[in-house]
Amino acid sequence: MSGEISPTGKRSDSDSSPELRASHADRDRVVDVLRIAAGDGLLTADELDERLEAALSARTVSELTELTADLPAVSASTGTAVAEVKDVLRIEGIHSGAVKRVGRWVVPRRLELATAWCEVTLDFTQAVITQDTLRIDMNTAGKRLTLITKPGIVVDAGALSLVHSKIKIREALDHGTPITLRVELVGTATHGRVVVRPARRTFGQWLLRKPAGD
């Protein structure tokens, strides 16, 4: 069906009551719109965090509508950016240079890492996140995998097998921020290191006491 729909998925000409109760699907659609808007530079990190928290606790459709009223409408004829997310992204490298995913890269639903003696960095601080879970299937040997996180992102390495390898997890903690992405590490890491850490502040951010990424 062509035309535009609101971020909650309702048609713009809908006569729904403003106090219509919001469903889980309504909240999920608004969360997707907010994440995509942040990836496009329309929302700051602080604005995104504030609106995500409000969206997840919203009880009515009108509350959700207020959160996206100043954002572009989603076109039903072309679909949202969610449809452009890759199901699987594969990263391969053997004795090659460093592999990095930084800035506004789109996080896939599943990531396959097949690397040997190759540094890999996945920076999630400005990434476009459109789902709540990312599974990383690892078959890595040597050197280091670094995951750079921010508040709202948690990493679960319970299913990762370490063979002569070490893992260090230091997540960006903010107990007031809802979880927006859970990264699951599975597979095997051999003769290497896995490091999970928050972004480091620049000297200017340190002087101004600003969080990293601002």
Query: How far does Cα 56 stand from its chain's mean position?
Result: 16
Question: What's the number of domains the chain is made of?
Answer: 2
Give the DSSP H or E segment for 80.
none
Do residue 146 and residue 189 come from a single domain?
yes
pLDDT band at 201, cuts 50/70/90? low
Do residue 58 and residue 92 come from a single domain?
no
pLDDT tens profile 97-109 = 889 998 878 898 8
pLDDT band at 198, cuts 50/70/90? very high
> How high is the pLDDT of residue 36?
78
- Which of these ranges, 24-28, 42-46, 81-85, has the smallest mean pLDDT? 81-85
More confident residue, 87 or 3: 87
State the pTM of this model: 0.60
Tokens of 166: 């070490």
Do residue 133 and residue 156 come from a single domain?
yes
Most confident of 48-52, 177-181, 187-191: 187-191
The strand pair at 181-190 and 153-163 is best described as parallel
In a domain, 92, yes or no: yes
Do residue 134 and residue 32 come from a single domain?
no
- Residue holding tokens 């190759």? 118
Given 82, 111, 145, the domain boundary residue is 82
In a domain, 214, yes or no: no
pLDDT at 154 over 50: yes
Give the separation between CA 4 and CA 137, rounded to whole angstroms.
Answer: 37
Do residue 98 and residue 59 come from a single domain?
no
| Residue span of the structural domain in which 50 resides | 4-82
Give the separation between CA 210 and CA 214, rounded to whole angstroms.
Answer: 7
Given 32, 67, 82, the domain boundary residue is 82
Q: Using alpha carbons, list the distances in angstroms from residue 60 to 89, 122, 123, 207.
A: 36, 36, 35, 42
Given 82, 116, 135, the domain boundary residue is 82
Do residue 94 and residue 196 come from a single domain?
yes
Do residue 115 and residue 16 come from a single domain?
no
Do residue 65 and residue 78 come from a single domain?
yes
Give the separation between CA 169 and CA 184, rounded to whole angstroms.
Answer: 13
Give the separation between CA 204 and CA 211, rounded to whole angstroms.
Answer: 10
In three-state secondary structure terms, 129 is coil
pLDDT at 152 over 70: yes
> How high is the pLDDT of residue 214?
52
Do residue 189 and residue 101 come from a single domain?
yes
Tokens of 213: 């990424």
Do residue 67 and residue 95 come from a single domain?
no
